[in-house]
Amino acid sequence: MPDFVYADHAATAPLSKAALKAMMPFLTEEYGNASSAYAAGRRARRAVDRAREKIAHAFGAHPDEIYFTSCGTESDNWVMRSPELCSEKKEKIISSSVEHHAILNTLEARKHAGLSSELLGADGNCRINVSRLKAALGSSTALVSIMAANNEVGTVMPIAELAEAAHKAGALFHTDAVQAAGHIPIDVEKAKVDLMSFSAHKFGGPKGIGGLYIRRGVPAGRWLYGGGQERGLRGGTENTAGIVGMAVALEKSCENMEKDTRRISALRDELISGVQKIPGTHLTGDPENRLPGNASFIFEGAEGEALVLLLDQAGICVSAGSACSAGALEPSHVLLAMGIPPEMARGSLRITLGAENTEDDIRKILEVLPDAVARSREAAGK
């Protein structure tokens, strides 16, 4: 067991034992190429096919609607950069200002190419309002892309309502479910989504493997030219071990979801209650509609990056809702979009829990954090 408290599951989750066990044969003796015709290749192909079936079952999809990629970022790029999803008369993409940079930066590149896009603002809880989407939709809208749950503050979006509004306007609907998959129930039929991105390492699978759900009949187009893998849409040798590990991790996450959600939510609520006793503390994100393990805060007068380093010295792994850019601390674009002033946004901290966390972990965080906040405020002269 590690001698530190890992509370940054939104960044990556530990590889599950079940996933590692399932992967090992394909990392050692079962190394055949899934495209090869001989027995070792056929065994790899069967493993890939079974994994595709498991993932499809977890999401309420058909196996031929699941496409394997290298990560969630690649899946998002496939959707955002697919010319087949747009036409000369319908080329506008609507997204939100709180999306992951895999969406935002790709839309920015698309904008430089002269193609139209619009970013919807979020409310103070990071929710995307359905009425705001309806007002933005028009005859030129080809695609709407709204994340299923926010990666910084954990807010769960009303995806089914947003998708319904998009469809009524004649647009397709994509959701980046990288943070949601394996943590909250997802049924692509009930959610009415046309495309959905997901990534294994967020729910206990290995890094370097992800996927894209493409509803039957949706013209996502060819993404990578090469061989005929992924029904000709994404060429390249399949990562058999990664695919198998992802499927097992997702299967186990779904099997344990109800039990884990109850336990993790209870730990999260205990953490939130304790942290809010620190003066000048604000919970960010929707207080009700949020991911089970997400507890994100702003500490007035503190610096998020300083808090991360101070907690790291105490053996606690968390993250700040800000990023270092060109040597300067930049406030989180998500918090700014929620209407939080830049000075306050710099004091953000994200603590995200998983199935491995315990009551002792919460106690340690609550023991260390008040002093870290005080030291950060003192250093900042606040």
Number of H helices, E strands in the chain: 13, 14
**Alpha-carbon span 137 to 118, nearest angstrom:** 10
212: closest CA among 59, 12, 30?
Answer: 59
Catalytic residue among 86, 126, 254, 324: 324
- Is 369 exposed, middle or buried (CB count within 10 Å of its CB: 0-12, 13-18, 19+)? buried
As beta bridge partners, residue 330 has 323
166 to 9, 65, 121, 134, 214: CA distances (angstroms):
31, 20, 17, 8, 16
Q: What b/e readout covers 53-81, taking b as 16+ CB neighbours within 10 angstroms?
A: ebbbbbbebeeebbbbbbbbbbbbbbbbe
| DSSP code, position 331 | P
Active site residue 324: yes
148: closest CA among 133, 132, 160, 166?
Answer: 160
Q: Nearest 5°: phi and psi at 167?
A: -65, -40
Give catalytic residue positions.
Answer: 324
